[in-house]
Amino acid sequence: MRPLAVADLNPAVLNVQYAVRGELAIKADELNERLRSQEHRDKLPFSKVISSNIGNPQQKGLDQPPITFTRQTSNPADRASPALCSQCHSDGSKARDSVSYSITEGCFTLYARNMIEGLVVLTCVAALMEYPPLIDIVKDKWPSDVIERAQQLQAEIGSIGAYSHSKGIPLIRKHVAQFIEERDGFPSDPEDIFLTAGASAGVSLLLNVLITPHKTGILIPIPQYPLYTATLAQYSGVPLPYHLSETDGWSTSLEEIRAALTKAEADGTGVLPRALVVINPGNPTGALLDEKTMEELVWLCEEHSLVLLADEVYQDNLHRRAAHPFHSFKQTVRRLRSPVPLISFHSISKGVFGECGRRGGYFECCNVAPDVRALLYKMVSVGLCPPLSGQIGVDCLVRPPRAGEPSHARWKAETDAIHAALAQRTALMAARLNALPGVSCVDSPGALYLYPKLELPAGAVEAARKAGKEADTLYALELLEETGICVVPGSGFGQKEGEHHYRLTCLCPGVEEYVGMLEKFHVGFLKRYGSSA
């Protein structure tokens, strides 16, 4: 029998590249294995690998604590024992006393004092959804709003081990629609809501149904989240890049988009532009769109009959809300009474939730014809349904505790602390990076990342060329090997010819030590290859 070979596979798969989990992440995994080995541990110049390559807040080493209310409502893996449950009062007061919150070096810290009691509070609705009889044991001991939420969801769902509606649990879709109405001031129909296994699954679905292989062009920002180029490669779509303006804080330029459209037409390849991707707040840039630019983008989509794909998963990651607020494209489209077809994506993985592993998200269809929506339903039905734990996470995202409810004070303390920590870390890191020779960095007003630009010595560029790598990949590899810090080179996100960047998260605890390692490495790198600064 002839063995299965790469040549037997779909050739489009060979073109898929996803830098966030590419060469650097694989190398980081190898180094982690070496750190676990007594034989190799002492031979490395660092004691741990710092995963700054991906926005994964609860990952080991980053350790952002989960939001208590979410875990109380939705985490089947966290199981509370009845003996421990008796230590919590119904108003959560004992639990609140057992956990302290502070900003230390910009890091949200859970103190270990009486941590076992704190962990009890992290388990409630999750355990209630996994094992409903637990309600009878804890009903006078856990916060009443947690009990009520679990009972409501259980009445709607039944067992979380069963399939749900392919678009998601109807009650949760109704809650998503209410959240959107409250946010934007315009109606939302639950039938326009599709719950998904994270926003990525929704993006993949929409690109799949929009693309005619080798004929459909999708306008994507540069730099962009590599999900888009990877998915376009998978479905043989044609990327039509438009560059963001770094000198203007990574702003979106209508002229750049029009130039990309003109180029697609002039190329004479028969590629038809079908959709415009906008990431707001930006990834990797953290930039936020102002309302005027959003209006112009909507009008441009009208002019060119483009579907607008709005990636808004970082809408709650705002570091300077007064100066840089978030506005949704749904609100803009409705306010302008525009007929533009709009698909908006959101997720429980970002914001202050950080529930990446739960795989929960949604997209909303706006101005999408019923027959097109029916085809989307057919496609999601093939996958039966998104994970129930992720759907319950979405319910917690769109229905947090409200003022006056027993869980609200704790929820507000936790979310305020995380917002403050991220804002403080981002500002500190940007300032320190900007002080380095050959580095310039926009102080991101949103998202979870910084995206510094590097002016690399000619010696480094030549060494990278000889190694068959991009210069910022060489920089990132040496950073990882010397410090254990894993970042993503800018070549994985797209950048102008001759430019070099890297993306790093602002999630890392111990930010002073972390930035100190970046500074020491950078100065050494310039000396090693001959400074251009």
Check residue 55 and give its pLDDT. 65
Check residue 347 and give its pLDDT. 92
Tokens representing residue 187 in the block: 């109606």
Q: From 394, 405, 407, select the one nearest 171 (Cα to Cα).
A: 394
> Could you give the maximum distance between any two Cα atoms of the chain, in Å?
72
Q: From 438, 93, 423, select the one nearest 286 (Cα to Cα).
A: 423
CATH code, residues 6-58+411-528: 3.90.1150.10
CA 229/CA 241 separation, integer angstroms: 10
Q: What is the mean pLDDT of each run of 10 residues along the chain (533 residues)?
A: 86 76 80 78 78 67 64 43 36 37 32 28 55 74 80 84 90 96 96 93 93 94 90 92 94 94 88 96 92 97 97 91 92 97 93 79 96 93 90 88 86 84 88 93 89 92 90 92 89 89 83 87 91 54
CA 261/CA 217 separation, integer angstroms: 9
CB 28 within 8 A of CB 476: no
Check residue 350 and give its pLDDT. 82
CB 448 within 8 A of CB 55: yes
| Dihedral angle of Cα 433, 423, 399, 331, to the nearest 10 degrees | -80
DSSP state at residue 245: B
Strand partners, 345: 311, 363
CA 376/CA 204 separation, integer angstroms: 12
Indicate the pTM of the whole model.
0.85
Check residue 68 and give its pLDDT. 64
Long-range contacts of 175-181 (CB under 8 A, 24+ apart): 175/395, 175/398, 175/399, 176/362, 176/364, 176/394, 176/398, 178/398, 179/397, 179/398, 179/399, 180/328, 180/330, 180/364
Check residue 393 and give its pLDDT. 86
Long-range contacts of 473-480 (CB under 8 A, 24+ apart): 473/23, 473/24, 475/500, 475/502, 475/525, 476/24, 476/502, 477/23, 477/24, 477/27, 478/521, 478/525, 479/518, 479/521, 479/525, 480/24, 480/27, 480/28, 480/31, 480/49
If one counts every other C-beta atom within 10 angstroms of the C-beta of residue 338, the result is 19
If one counts every other C-beta atom within 10 angstroms of the C-beta of residue 502, the result is 25
CA 289/CA 250 separation, integer angstroms: 10
| Dihedral angle of Cα 351, 354, 356, 358, to the nearest 10 degrees | -110
Give domain limits for the chain: 6-58+411-528, 74-120, 122-162, 170-398
Check residue 259 and give its pLDDT. 95
- DSSP secondary structure letters along 389-446: HHHHHHHHHHSPPPTTSTTHHHHHHHHHHHHHHHHHHHHHHHHHHHTSTTEE----SB
- DSSP secondary structure letters along 162-187: S---TT--HHHHHHHHHHHHHHHSS-
Out of 3.40.640.10, 3.40.50.720, 3.30.70.1430, 3.40.630.30, select the CATH number for domain 170-398.
Answer: 3.40.640.10
Q: From 147, 171, 185, select the one nearest 401 (Cα to Cα).
A: 147
Check residue 119 and give its pLDDT. 27
Q: What angle do CA 169, 173, 176 make, to 5 degrees?
A: 140
* End-to-end C-alpha distance for the chain, whole angstroms: 60
CB 392 within 8 A of CB 173: no
CA 319/CA 426 separation, integer angstroms: 8
CA 164/CA 388 separation, integer angstroms: 7
Tokens representing residue 350 in the block: 């970002």
If one counts every other C-beta atom within 10 angstroms of the C-beta of residue 266, the result is 8
- 502-505 vs 449-450, strand pairing mode: antiparallel
CB 393 within 8 A of CB 350: no
CA distances from 274 to 98, 303, 309, 380, 489 (A): 54, 12, 10, 21, 29
Check residue 112 and give its pLDDT. 26
CA 39/CA 22 separation, integer angstroms: 27
106: left (phi over 0), alpha (psi -120 to 50) or beta: left
CA distances from 226 to 208, 332, 424, 503 (A): 16, 26, 27, 12
CA 90/CA 72 separation, integer angstroms: 13
Quick one: 205 exposed, middle or buried, by C-beta within 10 A (0-12, 13-18, 19+)? buried
